[in-house]
Amino acid sequence: MTLPKIYVAGHNGMVGSAIIRVLKKKKVFIITRNKSQLDLTNQKAVLNFFMKKKIDQVYIAAAKVGGIFANNNYPAEFIYENLMIEANIINSAFLSGVKKLLFLGSSCIYPKFSKQPMSEEMLLSGKLESTNEPYSISKIAGIKLCESYNRQYGLSHDIDYRCLMPTNLYGIGDNYHPENSHVIPALIRKFHEAKIKKELKVIVWGSGNQKRDFLYVDDLALASYKVMNLNKKIYKKSVKTMCSHINAGSGSELTIKKLANVIKKTLNYNGNIEFDTRKPDGMKRKILDNKRIKKLGWKPKFFLEEGIKLAYKDFLQKEKLKFE
């Protein structure tokens, strides 16, 4: 029996490594390449790789990512590199005969003032958040690339390229940089350092009243495998030709205040939490509508408290620290 060859682009990242963990439990042959081995922005190199490897399935988790500072200061790099990565992979996959592909995007594809929860139909219904517009546009382009190849070559070449849009992710493999990380890893670092230094309080930006939903990265990996392997007829009934992406959200929301208290409790920090209302809250509410993927039989397995514990353990391992 020949095992299906599956290429995971971006296998060293948080999402890609989680997909690898899921695939290792399946009867498949996993193919990966480091950036030094394959430059995904190099069209010729990517096409040669695909032609040589005869790949069956592709998960696109590779992307140039960063926080608000990076997006604001390097917009050209964010839009160019992400467009090149997805265009090279999707086109090379098609030219080399890959029938199944999954493109992973981001909830930032939706307009700044979207109706909440954000359904798939909100795509292209308004203006994007200006701070990460170049990145968002590249992700929208990835969706439209998959849709366009399906529309033009779906019947003639039997291709089936799908798209999954995750909410705010956290977990093993996250970025805990003190100045360039997302809210959960940033708070894990803050509470840990306050605990070690025996500081009396932790200051959290904003009022704490803004609402978000968070998904543990291994839940996204399981959602990715689920969507990739859905029966084609079932999948097609769930999407539209020009709106074929699927949201992957937790289905629940909580305030940043509640989140901070969960992290405080998980890390056994005994000080106080102070909210700096002089700092901006951002959107008051931002949550993905996950009705579509729930109907397809997926739901998260990891509760927030459990996920935070695993993320904190990952943080300690990365920092080469030990529990007190």
**What are the catalytic residues?**
135
- Measured between alpha carbons, how far apart are the two ends of the chain, in Å? 50
What is the enclosing helix (H) or strand (E) of 284? Answer: none
In 3-state terms, what secondary structure has residue 149?
helix
CB 138 within 8 A of CB 83: yes
The strand order across the sheet containing 100-104 reads 29-31, 5-9, 57-60, 100-104, 160-166, 245-248
Neighbours of 155 (CB within 10 A): 9
CB 90 within 8 Å of CB 101 = yes
Q: How far apart are CA 303 and CA 170, in angstroms?
A: 12
Nearest to 65 by CA among 9, 11, 105, 34: 105
Q: Please give the DSSP secondary-structure letter assigned to residue 126.
A: S
DSSP codes of every residue in 237-282:
HHSBTTB-EEEE--S--EEHHHHHHHHHHHTT--SEEEEETTS---
Compute the chain's Rg from CA coordinates: 20
Token couple for 72: 């604001």
